[in-house]
């Protein structure tokens, strides 16, 4: 029960719902009157806030500034007991074996769609880093499956093997006693980030949601959206479900990349640090995507204005143990 903040002399008990319905509009109206801009719908989202946004977020937020809470309470290091215990458990062979074998067993190759061999990109790294820019307009031309395969491989593809033969020989790590390592680094090599994408316009690929399987360099169909994407009206509705992208040629893009953090994959080892490690992996992976796009003359741009719940619903993840944490739009570059 919350106390009425106005009419201090006539205090009444209100339920939270009554408070939100009766008191908040007046409070927000009064405060908003003195500020020259509207109350932001994003005042509780992950941005650094000025004191006034923080104050408004306090009254408007349902999640109560969760990003500040997280960062303020985030502690790591040798004195972090839950992390030390998790790490020491993971030094036991069965834990390592179970985790890594699970990652490999996530996909059944019979259910996957094979991708073509990725191309090797030959542009100089310095030139590519200098040329990378966020680009928001697209030509609407179709993308080839080979281009998609090349992007996915450079994002998260298997690029090496780490020998773990020093572990107990009775431990089963799938086919061999090696861990397959990927293009982007990952805390403990646990790879908690799954790369989903919405294929809007890719040759030889039914429009829909897919998840990349690095181990097989293949994709799993999550949701067929051919009918929705081939109809202008339902396509516009689908894009609306993804977020707000005003001034952006989203209806001409080829791909939406969606990065999903699966917290149980690495937080059993790293406890509270798992989320931070997962987000770092997303940053590394998405930079690979941008650099590969630049080298392939594609246009890419991250978007913070996506709808987390709308996309999670679309791709069928729960928003509890699996979270959408990043979103990138990719298309054939409009060079006119």
Contacting positions for ligand FMN (CB under 6 A): 133-134, 136, 301-305
Strand, helix or coil for residue 269: helix
Please state the closest distance from residue 257 (CB atom) to ligand FMN, in A: 12
By beta-carbon proximity to ligand FMN, the closer residue of 77 and 247 is 247
The distance of closest approach from Cβ of residue 298 to ligand FMN in the complex, given in angstroms and rounded to an integer, is 14
Determine the Cα–Cα distance for residues 269 and 90; give it in Å rounded to an integer. Answer: 6
Q: In the complex, what is the shortest distance from the CB of residue 120 to ligand FMN, in angstroms, rounded to a whole number?
A: 25
Q: Which residues contact 293 (CB under 8 A, 6 or more apart)?
A: 151, 299, 300, 330
Query: What whole-number distance in Å separates Cα of residue 147 and Cα of residue 159?
Result: 18
Rg (CA), the chain: 23
Quote the CA–CA distance of 278 and 247 in Å, as a whole number: 31
Which residue lies nearer to ligand FMN by CB, 242 or 271? 242
- In the complex, minimum distance from the CB of residue 314 to ligand FMN, in angstroms, rounded to a whole number: 18
Nearer to ligand FMN, 42 or 59 (CB): 42
Q: CB 182 → ligand FMN: shortest distance, Å?
A: 21
Residue (135 or 217) nearer to ligand FMN, CB = 135
* Residue among 51 and 247 whose Cβ is closer to ligand FMN: 247
Minimum CB–partner distance for residue 63 and ligand FMN (Å): 18
Nearest to 118, CA basis, from 143, 148, 141:
148
SS (H, E, C) 84-101: HHHHHHHCCHHHHHHHHH
Which parts of the chain are beta strand (E)?
2-3, 13-14, 112-114, 158-163, 178-182, 193-199, 208-213, 218-224, 255-262, 298-302, 322-332
Name the residue nearer to ligand FMN (CB basis): 136 or 332: 136
């Amino acid at each position: 029960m919350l106390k009425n903040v106005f009419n201090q002399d006539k205090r009444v008990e209100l339920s939270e719902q009554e408070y939100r319905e009766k008191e908040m509009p007046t409070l927000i109206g009064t405060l908003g009157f003195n500020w020259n801009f509207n109350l932001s719908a994003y005042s509780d989202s992950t941005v650094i806030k000025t004191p006034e946004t923080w104050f408004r977020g306090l009254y408007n937020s349902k999640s109560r500034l969760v990003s500040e809470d997280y960062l303020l309470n985030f502690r790591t290091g040798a004195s972090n007991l839950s992390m030390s215990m998790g790490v020491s458990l993971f030094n036991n062979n069965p834990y390592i074996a179970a985790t890594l074998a699970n990652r490999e067993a996530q996909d059944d190759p019979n259910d996957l769609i094979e991708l073509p061999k990725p191309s090797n990109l030959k542009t100089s790294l310095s030139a590519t880093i200098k040329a990378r820019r966020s680009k928001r307009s697209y030509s609407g031309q179709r993308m080839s499956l080979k281009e998609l395969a090349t992007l996915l491989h450079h994002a998260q593809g298997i690029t090496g093997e780490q020998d773990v033969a020093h572990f107990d020989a009775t431990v089963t790590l799938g086919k061999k006693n090696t861990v397959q390592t990927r293009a982007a680094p990952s805390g403990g090599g646990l790879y908690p980030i799954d790369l989903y994408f919405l294929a809007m316009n890719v040759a030889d690929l039914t429009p829909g949601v897919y998840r990349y399987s690095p181990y097989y360099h293949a994709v799993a169909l999550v949701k067929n959206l051919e009918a929705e994407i081939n109809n202008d009206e339902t396509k516009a509705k689908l894009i609306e479900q993804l977020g707000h992208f005003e001034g952006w040629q989203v209806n001409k893009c080829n791909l939406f990349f969606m990065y999903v953090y699966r917290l149980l994959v690495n937080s059993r080892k790293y406890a509270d640090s798992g989320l931070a490690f997962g987000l770092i992996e997303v940053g590394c992976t998405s930079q690979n995507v941008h650099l590969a796009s630049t080298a392939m003359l594609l246009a890419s741009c991250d978007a913070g204005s996506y709808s987390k719940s709308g996309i999670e619903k679309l791709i069928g993840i729960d928003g509890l143990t699996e979270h959408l944490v990043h979103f990138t739009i990719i298309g054939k570059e409009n060079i006119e």
